[in-house]
Amino acid sequence: MASILDGLNTVKQSLAVQQFALSVTQRNTANVNNPNYSRQDLVFTDPTVASSWALGGTPGVDVRASRNSFLDHSISRELPELGENEVKYSALQEIDAIMQGTSGAGLGETLANFFNSFTELSGNPTDMNLRLQTISQAELVATDFNRLYGDIQQVQSSANQHVKSGIDEVNTLTTRIADLNGRIEAAHARGSVEEASLRDERQQYLDELENKMGVRYFETEAGTVTVTTDKGDALVLGDTSWNLEIGPLSGSSFYGISLNGKDVTDSVSSGEIGGYLQVRDALIPGYLATLDDMAAGIIERVNDVHALGVDLDGNAGGDFFTPFTQLTPGSNTGAARAMEVAISDPRAVAAAASGGDVGDNTNAKALAAISGEKLFAGGTQTASESYAALLYRVGSDERDAEDAVTLQTSVIDQLKDQRDAASGVDLNEEAVNLIKFQQAYQASSRFATVLNALSEEILNIIS
C-alpha cells in the first residue's frame, strides 16, 4: 500500500505540473498580439529542491521569460533619435507650409509684386491708382513679414509647451519604473512568476522614456535598473526616482529643465523633448533671424532711396516704411514682426527725382531697381534670393528629418522583428504545447485511476 500511496502522491505532483504548464501556454496565447510581452517558457526542475520551484509551491517546475536584453537595449538606443526627428519633421512641415502659403502666395512673390509696382508706376508717375497700388503692395509685404514671423513664433511657443508636457510624462514614467524596480526585486527574491510580466511592463516604460528624452540605463544584480540622463544625472536608483522640474530659462521667456536645482536643459539633446528644444532654440531662431535681417534691410534701403525723391506736391520723400529701431546693437530682432508702411496718402509716394518735374519717374525706377540689388548674405543675394535660400534651408532641414525618421523606423522595425523571432509567441508552437500538456494531464489522471483500482483489489484481498 505504501508504494501505491507514493504513486498517488506522484500523480498529484504531475497533475499540478501539467496544470501549471497549461496556464503558461494560455498566458502566452492570450498575449500573442502584445508587442511588449516576452514569451514564457516552462522549465522542469528538480522536484526535491524547493528553491527551484515557481512561486505557488508547484514542485519541479519553473517559468523563464524568453527575453533578449541585447535586442531590448538595441531598440532603446534607436528610439531617442526617432522621437527627436519625428518632432522636428512635424514642426518643419508646419513651418514650410507657413512660408509657402502666406497671403495665398509666398513672400518671394509678394516682394516681386511690390518692386514691380514701382516699375508700373514709372510708366505713369501721376496715376493715382498706380500710386495706391504701390502702397497696397507695400502693405502686403509688411503683412506677410508680420504674419510669417508671428506664425513661426506660434510653432516655437507650441514647442515650448511640448517641452513642459513632455517633462510631466517623463516624471510619470520614472516614477512607474522606480515602483516596478521595487516590485521586481521583491518578486525575484521570492521566485515569483510575476517577475517576468513586471519586467515586460518596465521595458515598455523604458522604451517610452527613451523616446521622450533619451536616457542611459543599466540593470543591477538585484534586477533593478538605474536610469540617468545622457550626462549621468540620476533619474532612477532602485525604487527611488527624482522628478525633473520646469522653470524659466535664464535670459529667456522659455522653459528650462532642472534636476535637484541643477540646470540640465543641455543634457536633454535627443528624444521628443530634445527635438522640441532644437526646434525652439536652434532651428526657429535661425529662420526668424533671416526674416528680421530681410525686413530690416528692405526697410532701410527703400527708405533711403525714397528719401532722395520728391512727391506729387514737390515735397522731399520721407520714410516709406516705419523705421526700425534696433533694441540690441547689431541685432535686427523683431524687425519682421514690427514692419509697417509709413505713408497712406498716394500723393506722398516720391516717384520723381529731387528737382524733377511732376511727371518725372527717376526715383520710381530707382525704387524698382532695389529688387536686383545684392543686399543680403554679405552682398551676395537679392531680397528674393534671400527668401528663396531660406525656403531651401527649411526644406532641406525638413528632408533631413524625414530621411532620419525613415531610416530609424526601418532599423527599429528590423530589430523588433528579431526580438519577436526570439521572444514572441508562436501560436503553432503553443498549440502543440497545449495538446502535449493536456495529454500528459490525461495520462496522469489515468494512472491515478489504475492506482485506485489496484488499491481496491488489495483491500478486497485483505478483507
Contact 288, 98 (CB under 8 A): no
Q: Which residues pair with 219 in a beta bridge?
A: 225
Order of strands, sheet of 240-241, starting from the edge strand that comes earlier in the sequence:
216-219, 225-228, 234-237, 240-241
| Number of CB atoms found within 10 A of residue 236's CB | 26
Q: Which range, 353-357, 444-448, 453-457, is most confident?
A: 353-357
Q: Which residue has the higher pLDDT, 330 or 284?
A: 284
Q: What are the φ and ψ backbone dihedral angles of 268, each rounded to 5 degrees?
A: -100, 90
Query: Per-residue pLDDT tens for 2-20?
Result: 465 556 566 667 677 777 7
The answer, yes or no, to whether residue 263 has pLDDT greater than 80, is: yes
Please write the tens of the pLDDT for every residue from 9-50: 666 676 777 777 787 778 778 778 877 777 777 777 666 655
Q: Which residues are CB-contacts of 327 (< 8 A; sequence separation ≥ 6)?
A: 333, 334
Asked whether the predicted pLDDT for residue 300 surpasses 50, the reply is yes
Per-state percent for the chain, helix, strand, coil, to nearest 5:
65, 10, 25
Give the model's confidence band at 58: pLDDT under 50 very low, under 70 low, under 90 confident, else very high: low
- Lowest-pLDDT range of 60-74, 226-240, 287-301: 60-74
Half-sphere exposure of 345 (CA within 13 A, CB side): 10
Q: What per-residue confidence (pLDDT) applies to 103? A: 46
pLDDT at 26: 81
Cα angle at 199 between 73 and 163, to 5 degrees?
60
Q: Where are the alpha helices (DSSP H) in 102-127?
A: 107-123
Phi, psi for 64 (deg, rounded to 5): -125, 140
Q: Grid coordinates standing for 126?
A: 501721376
Is residue 125 predicted with pLDDT exceeding 80? yes
Task: Name the phi and psi angles at 65, rounded to 5.
Answer: -80, 135
| C-alpha closest to that of 425 among 27, 61, 7 | 27
Q: What is the pLDDT of the chain when averaged over all its residues?
A: 86
The angle at the Cα of 347, spanning 345 to 352, to the nearest 5 degrees, equals: 135
Q: What mean pLDDT is predicted for residues 242-249? A: 92
Of 99, 26, 101, 24, whose CA–CA distance to 66 is shortest?
24
- 357 against 321, higher pLDDT: 321
Percent of all residues in the chain with a pLDDT value above 70, rounded to a whole number: 87
- Amino acid identity, position 153: Q
C-alpha cell at 196: 517576468
| pLDDT the model gives residue 57 | 54
Q: Is the pLDDT of residue 188 over 90?
A: no
pTM: 0.84
Which grid coordinates are listed for 326? 534696433
Other beta carbons within 10 angstroms of residue 250's beta carbon come to 8
- The DSSP code sequence of 338-376 is H--B----GGG---EETT--TT--HHHHHHHHGGGS--B
**Three cell numbers written together for 6:** 507514493
Residues 6+ apart with CB under 8 A from 440: 14, 18, 21
Name the H helices within 191-270: 194-213
Cβ 271 vs Cβ 179: under 8 Å: no
Q: Read off the pLDDT of residues 316-356 as tens digits, 9 standing for 90 and up.
A: 999 999 999 887 777 899 999 999 999 999 999 999 998 88
Which has more pLDDT, 248 or 125? 125
Beta bridge partners of 175: none
Render pLDDT for 131-163 as a digit per residue (tens, 0 to 9). Answer: 999 999 999 999 999 999 999 999 999 999 999
What are all long-range contacts of 103-107, with beta carbons under 8 Å and residues at least 24 apart?
103/140, 103/143, 103/144, 103/147, 106/387, 106/391, 107/141, 107/144, 107/145, 107/148, 107/387
Neighbours of 148 (CB within 10 A): 26
User: Taking the domains of the chain in order of start, what are their residue ranges?
Assistant: 2-66+424-462, 75-410
